[in-house]
């Protein structure tokens, strides 16, 4: 699904990622953990195609394609999804219109006709039920006036609607109460399929009680310094990041 090889990235001359290697297979859930400021969000942004970074070395292969040359929207059309740590408010644009535009642009990329309105609305309803969302989403503007929890739930809802092959969730658990956390985690688990994969970026082990990862990576100083099974997350929780610092 995703292969990152020796990825080195700097921004304004300052090196942020120092040779990342990461292999994610279809059907897997990976967790990337690490202290603040070690490059977790940068890695997510770069995979999703944010401008403004200088990639000095390495490659990112997504479903067999080197995607470094592709724009953010092209990567999305190839099946990439990024759940934002701080989702952006877009006043005046309803979630319905936003998602319909996104789905239709993705369909256009694949040479498909726009999704019929009835089918689209049915899909909205189906995904809402799947995620056990109570909110009346359809006519609300994207993220406008949403609480932190609502914004994160809306990210998961968008993910459900867009049905990506690879979803990267950047600190989706930050700022969530336990109920919202459960909804987010349930969503991720329910949407899990043998042909898709998820990368969960998190600071705390808490989310991993709800989403069981196949592999846990520890990112430190722009490098993956440790990888292991789900027990690595518990070890981290117990010993703290200082332990990694001393190990590396």
Partner 1 sequence: MEAGTITTLYDLKEYLTGVFAARQQEISSNDTPFVAAKRAEAFKLFSKAGFPHAALEKWRGTDLSRALNHEYHTLPELPSAELDIDKIFKCDVPHFETLLVTQLNGWYADRKNLIKVYPNGMIIGSLAAAFSKYPELISEHYGKYADDKAESLTALNTAMSQDGIFIYIPDNVTVEQNLQTVNITDFKQNLFLNTRNLVILGENSHLRLVQCDDSINHDVTFINSVTEVKIGKNSSLDHYKLQNKDDHTTLINSMYFHQDEGSSLSTNAISLNGGLIRNLSHVTMSGRHSTADVYGLYLMDRYQHVDNQVYINHAAPECISRELFKGVLDDHASGVFNGHIKVHRDAQQTNAFQTNRNILLSDKASIDTKPFLEIYADDVKCSHGATIGQLDAEALFYIRSRGISESNAKILLMYAFAADVINKISIPELRQRMDDMVKKRLRGELSQCEQCVLNCSTHEHNKVEFKIDIAKI
Alpha carbon distance 203, 36 (integer Å): 7
Total residues contacting partner 1 by CB under 8 A comes to 34
Alpha carbon distance 32, 37 (integer Å): 13
Alpha carbon distance 167, 185 (integer Å): 13
C-alpha torsion 189→211→187→36, nearest 10 = -140
Q: Does the protein bind partner 1 through residue 111 (CB under 8 A)?
A: no
Under rule CB under 8 A, which residues in 52-71 are in contact with partner 1?
A: 52, 71
Residue 118, C-beta contacts closer than 8 angstroms, at least 6 positions apart: none
CB 160 within 8 A of CB 127: yes
Helix, strand, coil share of the chain (percent; to 5)? 40, 30, 35
For partner 1, the closer of residues 117 and 212 by Cβ is 117
For partner 1, the closer of residues 6 and 109 by Cβ is 109
Alpha carbon distance 245, 239 (integer Å): 11
Return the residue of 39, 46, 67, 84 that touches partner 1, per CB under 8 A.
84
Site string for partner 1, 135-174 (x = CB under 8 A): ------x----------------x---x------------
Site string for partner 1, 24-53 (x = CB under 8 A): ---------------------x--xxxxx-
Under rule CB under 8 A, which residues in 174-233 are in contact with partner 1?
A: none
Residue 75 CB, shortest distance to partner 1, in Å, is 8
Return the residue of 102, 121, 130, 235 that touches partner 1, per CB under 8 A.
102
CB 166 within 8 A of CB 197: yes
Stretch that binds partner 1, among 6-14, 26-34, 86-94, 130-138 (CB under 8 A): 86-94
Strand order from edge to edge, sheet including 14-24: 14-24, 2-11, 54-62, 65-66
For partner 1, the closer of residues 4 and 76 by Cβ is 76
SS (H, E, C) 177-208: CHHHHHHHHHHHHHHCCCCCEEEEEECCCHHH
For partner 1, the closer of residues 70 and 235 by Cβ is 70
Task: Report the DSSP beta bridge partners of residue 228.
Answer: 216
Q: Does the protein bind partner 1 through residue 106 (CB under 8 A)?
A: yes
Return the residue of 93, 115, 121, 225 that touches partner 1, per CB under 8 A.
93
Q: Does the protein bind partner 1 through residue 101 (CB under 8 A)?
A: yes
Which parts of this chain interact with partner 1 (CB under 8 A)? 45, 48-52, 71-73, 75-77, 80-82, 84, 86-88, 90-93, 98-99, 101-103, 105-106, 109, 141, 158, 162
């Amino acid at each position: 699904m995703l292969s990152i090889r020796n990825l080195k990235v700097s921004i304004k001359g300052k090196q942020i990622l120092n040779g990342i290697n990461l292999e994610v297979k279809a059907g897997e859930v990976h967790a990337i953990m690490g202290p603040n400021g070690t490059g977790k969000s940068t890695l997510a942004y770069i995979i999703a195609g944010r401008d403004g970074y200088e990639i000095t070395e390495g490659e990112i292969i997504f479903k067999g394609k080197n995607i470094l040359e592709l724009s953010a929207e092209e990567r999305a059309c190839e099946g990439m999804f990024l759940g934002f740590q701080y989702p952006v408010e877009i006043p005046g644009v309803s979630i319905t219109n936003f998602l319909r535009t996104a789905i239709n642009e993705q369909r256009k990329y694949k040479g498909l006709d726009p999704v019929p309105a009835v089918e689209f609305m049915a899909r909205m309803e189906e995904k809402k039920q799947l995620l056990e969302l109570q909110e009346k989403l359809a006519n609300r503007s994207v993220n406008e006036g949403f609480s932190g929890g609502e914004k994160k739930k809306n990210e998961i809802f968008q993910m459900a609607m867009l049905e990506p092959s690879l979803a990267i969730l950047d600190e989706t658990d930050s700022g969530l109460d336990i109920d919202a956390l459960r909804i987010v985690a349930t969503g991720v688990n329910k949407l899990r399929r043998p042909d898709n994969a998820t990368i969960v970026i998190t600071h705390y082990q808490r989310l991993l009680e709800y989403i069981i990862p196949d592999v846990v990576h520890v990112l430190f100083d722009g490098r993956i310094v440790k990888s292991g099974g789900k027990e690595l997350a518990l070890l981290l929780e117990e010993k703290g990041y200082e332990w990694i610092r001393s190990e590396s």
